[in-house]
Structures are given as C-alpha cells and as structure tokens.
Amino acid sequence: MASDSRLDYLMKALDISGKTLSGELKIDETTVSKWRKNQRRLTFKNRHAARMAEYFLDSEMEGKRQVAAGILKGYKADLNFESRRQKIEALALWLTEETGGPPTPGAGGSDSGAAGDGFAPASGYNTCVHVFTGEAGVDEALDYFMRQALAAPPGRTLYVVDYNGIDWAPAEEGDGQRRVNGSVELFKTFIEKGQKFVIIDCNTDLYKPYTAIFRWLRLYLTGGVEVLTHPALSQDKNYFITFVLRDEIALHCVHDADYPDRRHCLIFKNKETVNHHARAAESILKSSKKLVETVENESLAELFEVMERQLRPGRPVCAMNPPLSLLAAGPETLEEILSAAGASREETVVCLNVREMFEKSLCSCEHAVLVDLDALDRAFTADEVVDRALSALCRREVRVTQDQTRRILEKIIERKSGPESSANFVSFSDLGITPNNLSIMAQDDAFLSVWDLEKYQKSMYSANVDVVSGFYRFLRLTWESIPGICKETDWRNKQLKRYIETD
C-alpha cells in the first residue's frame, strides 16, 4: 500500500476517503488532499491533527478498529492505553511527525517510542520524554503539563515539590508576575475541577519567607490547597521542581545555578516514570511539616481562638490593617453595631470576646499598628460600609455608619501611645506599601495571621518560627520606612479629627 504521508497511509488502511473525512470533520477537502500528498505540512499544533486522531481511533469499521491502536503500540510502547486523551495525543503526534517518508506498515515510525538505536535495557525500559529548554521552554512546559492535568479524572492529587527549579519572576518580566499569575489561574481551574493540590516548598527563604507567600497567596487561600515546607534537599547548586499527577503526567525542571539560562524541563507520560516521581513526592511529603494553616472565612472565630492561644504576653506585636471595629470600638458602640444588624446574643458575645482579645494583646506589650488612610477615605464616601470582620464572625452582613466610625476614631485618640506602642495612619498608596489589601498580625517568634475577607475564601495563620519571624521583620521594616511625622501622636490625631469633624 504505497503512501505519500502517514495521514495517507492511515486513511487507506481504514478505507476512509478524503471526501468522507472532510465531510465528517468539516475540513476543506483540498486541504486534506494536500496533507495526504505532503504538499502542505500538518503540524501537531494544528487543532485538526487531534480531531482526526480522535476520529480514526473511534472508527467502528469491522476489522479496522485496531489499526490505529496497532500503530500506537509500535510507536509508543510505554503509552498508557487506558487513557483516551494520551492515545489521541500520541496518534496526533505520529500523524504530524516528520520522518522523511511514509511509514512501514505495522511499524511505529522512525523513532518507535524512545531509543532510536533499538537498544532495550535488560534491567529497565525505554521511554519517551519531551524536553523544553530556556525560559521560553519553562512557559511552554507549564502550559503543556497543565492542559494535560486538567483533562485528568477528578479526585486526583497534584504534587509540586519546589526546590527553586523555576525562576517565577524572570528579570525580563518587569514586575515578575506574568508567570505566577498565569500559573495560579491554571492551578485554581485544576482545583475547581475537584482535584487536590499539595505544595512542598523545599526552598523557603528563611529571612524573607513572605516573598514566596505573597507571590502564591491567592493559591494558599484557595480551598483544596495544602502547603508544607521541607529542609533544603542538598547544599549544592543543582535545583529542581517536580509537578506530578499519579498515573497521568510528570514535569521535572532542573537547572544549575552557574548556568541559569540552561534550564531543562522534561515531560514524562508513561506510568512507570510518572509514578516514580509520584512516589518520590510522597516520600518527601512524609518528612515535611505545615508551612501555613488555613481556616474558612465562615469560621473566622476559629482563627481568633487560635490567635488568643498562641499570642504570648509581653512580646512585641506588629499589625497591618487590623479591623478597627475589633481594635478600638468601645463595647457599647460594638453592641450597637451588632444590634442594628440583627446579631444574636451568642454572636454578639463572640465579637465582644474577640475585641477583648485584640485589646489585651496590644495593650499588654510593645506594638506597632499600621492602618491605611485610603480605607478611611472610602469609609467616609458612603453613609455606611460593610464591616467584613464582623460580618464573617456573625455570618450575616454587618454595616458600620459614619457616626459609629467617628466614635471608634475618638477611642483611638483617647488611647495613650508612645515611641514603642502606637497606631499610625498613613496612605498606603502614596507610600507604595504592598500588599495594601491584607490584614496581617505577627508576634515575634510566636504567631502570624493573614486575611483579606473580601478577596479570599480562607484566612491563613502559622506558628512556624521562620515564617513568623520573617513576617514580623517585614512589618517592622514597613513601619520603620514610613515618614517620622506620621508616627507623631499629634499628627495622627490631627488626621483622625479631620474625619471626625467631617459633616
């Protein structure tokens, strides 16, 4: 059966005419003819390659159903034949592979899977690997991996073992967020499909752990994500990151610190190699520990209960954007706010207890609190605003009026402050403080909590000493970076009185 191309060979083997194929798949018949005669190249990226592969695999003609399957057995002996997606992709690859001529009937082509020299290890197996190089290769490999992972059946666990194998913020990217943002959206889609995501961070910067946590915060605070940390796996300069979905696909990216531009990303899809990487990830998981813990925002009271247990009397505290209603509202004002929202007595008691916890933790020790003046500006542009913290605690919408906000600010003015303990109000946007949307509270060597009740499903906390100390340093350095005048009590009170006296 003489053939000009692999497409032509398979169509003849299945007795499918160009007219039939073009009619079934709505492809121009002339285009099909040119592909068959090698007058126009059919590429793997062409969407019709996968469509034709699926059509050929679904052929129900008696005695010919196994023609395509036989080709695949010779082409990729390590293929997972239980995976329909892998079979379609492999046949599309076979159809579009450039080999210099038509295939030999019954053979898989020039490669026959992996080792072109025909060698078969006595104590192993041959396999096929896709290799991507450089920074462009990293992006291509990530995209390819996630497209395959998204097609997997639900109920799977995707492991990521990160030992600095990818530069998540390449210098040429400017703000360095393109790769992160793209990956986060793919990972979130994966989770939304009913999958689980486990990140094992083997390269946490012990001095600045907040760098990586801020980068991946959207992911950490998404349901279905577990984050752990593991000591560095080696002291040399060979780094890697592995993404693996058992039985389906593995991506292994490696690079040497001396040659950062020579990154290699390897994709494996045969079961033996994929599950080898899965077992390695699960082994590392056993000796890992939680980097952060999370609670659903609907159970915010649980976060504050943990905070109360973990905070240590007398140790310094730094906070950014704490909820003013819990930080400084008097009991009477708080009860008035909750009563207007229809809160039950039980809900009101919970809020009063949290308020008391905040007051005790800050009044009993040295503390530095930063509050965003921009948020106050927004609070005074409407008659009332939703209080996210109180709403989460009461599980109902709770609003605070301008008059109630004025009384809270008056309480702040009444409080004594000094060089070691103060609440400072600055414009985060003017000073370029980022992230400006988070509430963060850290006590040195004791406890960390992070939340954004408007943006994320969960809140985060940690008692990991390295993480807590790193965030405490971040808050302290942020506080030290603001202009000295903003730390003066008279200047602060002047700003607050401006709001209090607003009509």
Tokens of 489: 């009590």
One domain, residues 158 and 245: yes
Q: How far apart are CA 242 and CA 236, in angstroms?
A: 18
What is the gyration radius of the CA atoms in the chain, in angstroms?
30
Q: Which amino acid is at 409?
A: L
Least Cα distance to 245 among 188, 185, 179, 197 occurs for 197
One domain, residues 245 and 388: no
Least Cα distance to 149 among 120, 190, 177 occurs for 190
Q: Are strands 157-163 and 196-201 parallel, antiparallel or unpaired?
A: parallel
Last residue of some domain: 291, 322, 354? 291
Q: How far apart are CA 312 and CA 444, in angstroms?
A: 9
My answer on whether omega of the bond before 483 falls inside 30° of 0, hence cis, is: no
CB atoms within 10 A of CB 265: 26
Longest CA span, the chain: 95
Residues 312/446, Cβ–Cβ less than 8 Å:
yes
One domain, residues 357 and 462: yes
Domain-embedded: residue 53:
yes
Tokens of 269: 């899809």
Q: How many structural domains does the chain have?
A: 3
- Phi first, then psi, for residue 427 (nearest 5°) are -80, 110
One domain, residues 135 and 77: no
One domain, residues 350 and 495: yes
The full 3-state SS of 87-130, as one line of letters, equals HHHHHHHHHHCCCCCCCCCCCCCCCCCCCCCCCCCCCCCCCCEE
Residues 266/133, Cβ–Cβ less than 8 Å:
no
Domain-embedded: residue 323:
yes
Domain-embedded: residue 115:
no
One domain, residues 369 and 469: yes
Last residue of some domain: 256, 291, 326? 291
Please give the full DSSP string across 317-384, using - where no structure is assigned.
Answer: EEEES--HHHHT--HHHHHHHHHHTT--HHHHHHHHHHHHHHHHHHHTS-EEEEEEHHHHHHHTTSSE
pLDDT for 110 equals: 36
Q: Are strands 225-229 and 157-163 parallel, antiparallel or unpaired?
A: unpaired
One domain, residues 135 and 189: yes
Q: Residue 172 carries which DSSP code? A: G
One domain, residues 420 and 399: yes
Residues 411/332, Cβ–Cβ less than 8 Å:
no
One domain, residues 373 and 464: yes
One domain, residues 361 and 421: yes
Q: How far apart are CA 446 and CA 361, in angstroms?
A: 12
Distances in whole angstroms, Cα of residue 473 to Cα of each of 37, 358, 443, 466: 67, 21, 10, 11
CB atoms within 10 A of CB 292: 24
Query: CA 432, 433, 435, 439 torsion: positive or negative?
Result: negative
- For residue 482, the enclosing domain spans 294-500
Give first-to-last CA distance, the chain, whole Å: 91
Q: Residue 164 carries which DSSP code? A: B
Last residue of some domain: 258, 291, 324? 291
Q: What pLDDT tens digit does each residue of the chain (503 aa) get?
A: 455 788 888 888 888 899 999 988 999 999 999 998 888 888 888 889 989 988 888 766 545 556 777 777 767 766 777 788 888 888 888 888 765 444 444 443 333 344 455 567 788 777 888 898 888 889 899 988 988 888 888 888 999 998 877 877 665 544 456 777 788 888 888 888 888 889 888 876 655 667 767 777 877 787 778 888 887 766 566 788 999 999 999 999 988 767 766 789 999 988 889 999 999 999 999 988 887 888 888 788 888 888 888 888 778 888 898 888 988 899 999 999 999 999 999 999 999 998 888 877 776 678 888 888 888 888 888 889 999 999 999 989 999 999 999 999 999 888 776 656 678 888 888 877 766 678 899 988 888 998 888 888 888 898 888 888 888 888 888 888 888 888 888 988 998 998 888 76
The answer for 136, left when phi > 0, alpha when psi is -120 to 50, beta otherwise, is: alpha
**CA atoms lying within 13 Å on the CB side of residue 273:** 21
- CB proximity list for 463: less than 8 A, separation 6 or greater: 310, 446, 447, 448
One domain, residues 140 and 56: no
Tokens of 458: 């969960």
Total count of residues recorded for the chain: 503
